[in-house]
Amino acid sequence: MLSPSLSTTSQFRRILPDGRLIFVEGAPGGPAFLIESGEVLIFRERDGIEVEVARLGQGDVFGEIALLDGGIRTASARALKDALLFEIEPAMMRRHIDAADPVIGMVMDILVSRLRSVVGPGGYLRPESIPRQTTESLLGQMRTEREIARAIRLEQFVAALQPIVSLSDGGIAGFEALARWEHPERGIVLPGGFIPIAESAKLVGYIDWLCMKAACLTLRRVKESFGAVADLWWVSVNLSGTHFAHPETVDRIDAILKETGLPPSALKVEITETVLVSDIDAAASVAKSLRDLGVRIALDDFGVGYASLAYLHRMPLDTLKIDRSFIDQVTASPQSEVIVRAMLSLGESFSLTTVAEGIERPEQAERLTALGCHYAQGWLFARPMLEAQLLPWLERYR
Ligand code: C2E
Ligand code: CA
Ligand code: CA
């Protein structure tokens, strides 16, 4: 799952100069194209003379019947006016239809069925029946995916570390690594702007590994610089539920630890309940192998899903992270306090450490300390920081 999509995404866009052949009649099947700008001439050759079949422009889709039905080519295509083409790989089309979010799946289905109806066996027709809006939203989504794929290649994803403090003494216990996209034009982009799209395009794994590697490197440097005081500091890294239970996960993490020189005991992996619901046995087996390596496992956003209780005893967990939605209300609503108390006692009975997320006010920290929660994370203590800000911020703990 982790290799094929990147190589296809790297070839998505082609700029073809005026006159360049795109494909010739009878050549083996290839991808379909969306025209982003310029024009494309579809033609047939009769007795050495090019006979125009269609002239296509921005927003038009063209390709081979072979792409859709495994049939043969019926015409040739040539770029006019420096055409900028967006390539739709057959595999990518299927991938979107099968696995993408439902809206994109639907758009792709419409596109494919329209292509079938407009590109008949006799040759090409201008696919006017495809609404402009359809191609535009499709293009927009694909453009973002392509941009993300490019950012992955350029390693523009980095980790911001947010301190997690011990409620008993106020000291640093560890950090959570949160992915940030250092976008050359837009500046720092938060995960909401890329994780959902990366998940639907099956690219999120690459971001997770980049973020984990960056986080491990930062913590190793922090440990080198701070010595004994930082000995027990750990970093907690988010792994998307879509690939946690993959057999490669353990090897990847092992390789990242070796490459960055961070001891396994200084790494935690945060997963959400979606991992457990989709395939508990596979997830438990990956979790167990990680544990054997010395890596710890945290259950993130605890209390938000439905499966928490049923799965707690089947996963080798170390930490429960109580979701911010409960912490928000803990001092204001007695019901929230009851729920938080229940979650903490559940954590205690499973011998798990507990982290309260999203602490913004001192009274929340006081209440959670009184309720026996071990650790806390939130803006009250610190925001997530890139390494350049984190190192000076940590000086107070030296
Ligand atoms: P999360 O794992 O629940 O991360 C905590 C989010 O709460 C972070 O948002 C953090 O900046 C924010 N936060 C921390 N303290 C406070 C607080 O006191 N108040 C409020 N209002 N918010 C606080 P962020 O960085 O935008 O991340 C959002 C989500 O994106 C994360 O939620 C996580 O689900 C996902 N994510 C982040 N990095 C990665 C990654 O590397 N891989 C994957 N798969 N997902 C990631
Ligand atoms: Ca998290
Ligand atoms: Ca969380």
Q: Kindly state the average pLDDT of the residues 46-53.
A: 81
DSSP annotation of 47 reads: T
| 309 CA distance to ligand 2 middle (Å) | 19
Which pLDDT value is given to residue 125? 40
In degrees rounded to 5, what are phi and psi of residue 25? -50, 130
**Is pLDDT above 50 for 69?**
no
Binding pocket residue ranges, ligand 1, CB within 6 Å: 162, 178-179, 190-192, 195, 204, 207-208, 211, 238, 240, 300-301, 358-360, 377-379, 384
**Is pLDDT above 90 for 359?**
yes
Which pLDDT value is given to residue 127? 43
Best mutation site among 148, 152, 178 for ligand 1 pocket (most ligand atoms within 8 Å of CB): 178
**Which of 184, 186, 243 is CA-nearest to residue 212?**
243
Rg (CA), the chain: 26
pLDDT in tens, 13-35: 778 889 998 887 766 556 678 88
pLDDT tier at 247 (50, 70, 90 boundaries)?
confident
pLDDT in tens, 125-177: 444 444 555 556 666 777 788 899 999 999 999 999 999 999 999 999 999 99
Specify whether the backbone of 47 is left (phi greater than 0), alpha (psi in -120 to 50) or beta. left
**Is pLDDT above 80 for 92?**
no
pTM over 0.85: no
| 321 CA distance to ligand 3 middle (Å) | 7
Q: What is the DSSP string of 13-58?
A: EEEE-TT-EEE-TTSPP--EEEEEEEEEEEEEEETTEEEEEEEE-T
| 280 CA distance to ligand 1 middle (Å) | 24
Which pLDDT value is given to residue 213? 98
Ligand nearest, relative to CA of residue 321: 3
Give the amino acid at 33: F
pLDDT tier at 6 (50, 70, 90 boundaries)?
very low
**Is pLDDT above 60 for 256?**
yes
Ligand 1 atom index nearest CA of 239? 44
Best mutation site among 157, 162, 238, 319 for ligand 1 pocket (most ligand atoms within 8 Å of CB): 238
User: Helix or strand or coil: residue 78?
Assistant: strand
**Is pLDDT above 90 for 206?**
yes
Q: What is the mean pLDDT of the chain?
A: 83
pLDDT tier at 45 (50, 70, 90 boundaries)?
confident
Which pLDDT value is given to residue 101? 53
End-to-end CA separation in angstroms for the chain: 43
CA 295 to chain centre: 22
Ligand 1 atom index nearest CA of 237? 41
pLDDT tier at 88 (50, 70, 90 boundaries)?
confident
Nearest CA, atom 34, ligand 1: 238
| 126 CA distance to ligand 2 middle (Å) | 49
Nearest CA, atom 28, ligand 1: 191
Q: Identify any residues that bridge with 43 across adjacent strands, giving them in sequence order.
A: 52, 76
Ligand 1 atom index nearest CA of 212? 41
Which pLDDT value is given to residue 94? 58
Ligand 1 atom index nearest CA of 384? 11
